[in-house]
Amino acid sequence: MSKKDNQLIIVIDEEIENYSQQIVEEMTQDLVQVISQYMEVNASEVKIAFESRDNQSIMVASIPVLTVQRS
């Protein structure tokens, strides 16, 4: 699997400009909190980017995984 295939892409059905920096930071914290329930992540290295693809606004989250918790 290529690195590009190993992504979580969230499609946002709104204009990106409508999101304040505070909202983006809160969404980032929420994503890290949820993902941290299943794997250890490097929260200080999380990067969020917004792009337009195929006439849609998308949010791309880069969340470095340190270890995956096994049940």
What whole-number distance in Å separates Cα of residue 13 and Cα of residue 15? 7
In the chain, % helix, strand, coil (3-state, to 5) comes to 30, 35, 35
Q: What is the pLDDT of residues 20-65, one digit of tens each?
A: 889 888 988 998 999 999 888 888 988 888 888 888 777 888 888 8
What pLDDT shows up at residue 34?
A: 93
Spatial contact of 48 and 24, defined as CB atoms under 8 Å apart: yes
> Which whole-number Å values give the CA distances from 53 to 32, 35, 61, 63, in the listed order?
24, 25, 15, 21
What pLDDT shows up at residue 67?
A: 86
What pLDDT shows up at residue 6?
A: 56
What 3-state class would DSSP assign to 24?
helix
- For the chain, domain boundaries: 9-68
